[in-house]
Amino acid sequence: MTDRTPAAVRIAEMAERFREVNGDHPMTADDDAYVTAQFVPLEALCGALGRDPDEVRRLMLAGLLPLPGYLRSDGAEMVPRDLFALADAAGGVEHLRTWFTGHWEDPAQGDAEWAAYLSGRYVCLHAVTPAGIRRKAELTAEITARLAAAGDDPSPEWRLALHARVDELDALEPAFTAYDRLRFGGPVSRDTCVDAPRTLFPLVPR
């Protein structure tokens, strides 16, 4: 049976779902500028790729593709430029969940990461892939553990090892924006695992 839901209704449903997931927080002009530089409107991406944006919204609302990463203040649904890359790698949206969760040995963890992926809140990575998600989790855990175990004056070798991990995480993550700190309820991983370690434990000149 053909889905005859009007596009305006689907857009409203998308906005409602987005706010259910992220809360209702204002987007400032700086937030809009950051998002416009990092992401692309769903309508524009679909136009460039010959896809139907309303069908993509249907797939998002059905839990087959991730929600937009942001709603710009003008209402534009902002998505990553590689929105369809994982579905294409999986052989289609109908295979995406099995393909995605199969990257984790623990099925429960795979399901949890799938839910996080569908939420659209993986704006913490330049490229949202299972490998990137796993590596970010490993790096943030290692950095957090090292910071917790740091003494008053860690050795130059310790600092080098810390900075190697921080630099790797820095390369995986974008800058974030003020809106992210509102919806995530506080500091983001860039604050705690990139900026803070560099401030607290700068490299010692040799």
Residue 129 clears pLDDT 80, i.e. is over it: yes
List, in order, residues 6 or more apart from 175 with CB less than 8 Å away.
Answer: 34, 190
Say if residues 172 and 132 touch (Cβ distance below 8 Å). Answer: yes
Residue 2 clears pLDDT 70, i.e. is over it: no
pLDDT tens digits, one per residue of 6-17: 889 999 999 999
Sheet holding 77-79, edge to edge: 40-41, 77-79, 70-71
Burial track 58-73 (b if 16+ CB lie within 10 A, e otherwise): bbbbeebbbbbbbbbe
Q: Which of 53, 82, 58 is nearest to 69 (CA)?
A: 82
pLDDT tens digits, one per residue of 186-201: 999 999 999 999 999 9
* Largest interatomic CA distance in the chain: 71
Question: What is the model's pLDDT at position 205?
Answer: 74
pLDDT tens digits, one per residue of 52-74: 999 999 999 999 999 999 999 99
Q: Which of 34, 21, 74 is nearest to 190 (CA)?
A: 34
Residue 140 clears pLDDT 90, i.e. is over it: yes
User: Whole-angstrom Cα distance, residue 171 to residue 168?
Assistant: 5
pLDDT tens digits, one per residue of 176-186: 999 999 999 99
Backbone angle region of 143, left / alpha / beta, with phi > 0 → left and psi within -120 to 50 → alpha? alpha
Question: What is the model's pLDDT at position 1?
Answer: 43
H/E segment holding residue 145 = helix 130-149
User: Which class for 194: exposed (0-12), middle (13-18), buried (19 or more C-beta within 10 A)?
Assistant: buried
Q: What are phi and psi of 191, to 5 degrees?
A: -65, -50
